[in-house]
Amino acid sequence: MQGLSVVIVGGGAGLGALIARMAVENGAAALGIIDINAEAAQEALAPAREAGIPAAFAACDIRTADAAHAALNKVADELGGIDTLVNSAAIYPRKPILEITDADWDASNAINVKGSYHMMVAAIRRMQGQDPKGHVRGRIVNITSVDAFKAHPQNAHYAATKAAVVSLTRSMAQEVAPDGILVNSVAPAGMATQKARELGFLGELAKASPLGRGGEPQEMAEWVLMAGGPKNTYMTGENIIVSGGYIYA
């Protein structure tokens, strides 16, 4: 991320917060966090402040265009621009398929799909007005999931939203390619997180992977940094599956 201004949506916790820290460690010139939890967003900016680079945050419910665009513009204004947007905000509801309600569908779609769309549109409008660095005016990376490609019980509405984001990534990539904006997504498999350890999922993750283990969050984040970083000058419209061989697509 050397020299880039990076904004992470959903960067207050989990994978998003890890990506934020790694972006700073990999030379980001500025860091912005957009999260519904203002306190978490502030904490996630600590590595940027310690590194002495510009840091900005906005507390935002991304389900409406007005709120999402206002948050993105606030952060981009404070940072002096945006080179890379990472869409990491999502909810992960679990419910048997015959019990999913309209409210469940609406919540999943509003955050996982529509919220990502709003943030992409806001970022693209900013990036279109920027001078290119080489061939590229900006990069967008959406966090999807292997669930978009492989069914799991009690997971239908989440999986459907992640499949939608894969499709949305491709559509966006095609439309903004002439502007020099690259749009890709990264689809992690199950990760060996602290929550997975607490819930006893590590054994299941190990069995599911030919490598015999679940992926470490840092291993997933590395691919986000690659797709959103300065070395990516030509790849767009791709969904990078990081599953340890769990699926091939």
**Where in the sequence numbering do the catalytic residues fall?**
158
**CA 243 vs CA 22, 58, 193: distances in Å:** 20, 32, 14
**CA 159 vs CA 45, 148, 156, 162, 194: distances in Å:** 30, 5, 5, 5, 22
165: left (phi over 0), alpha (psi -120 to 50) or beta: alpha
Whole-angstrom distance, CA of residue 114 vs CA of residue 245: 30
**CA 174 vs CA 180, 187, 216: distances in Å:** 11, 19, 32
Strand partners, 9: 34, 87
Sheet harboring 5-9: ordered strands across? 55-59, 30-35, 5-9, 84-87, 138-143, 181-188, 239-242
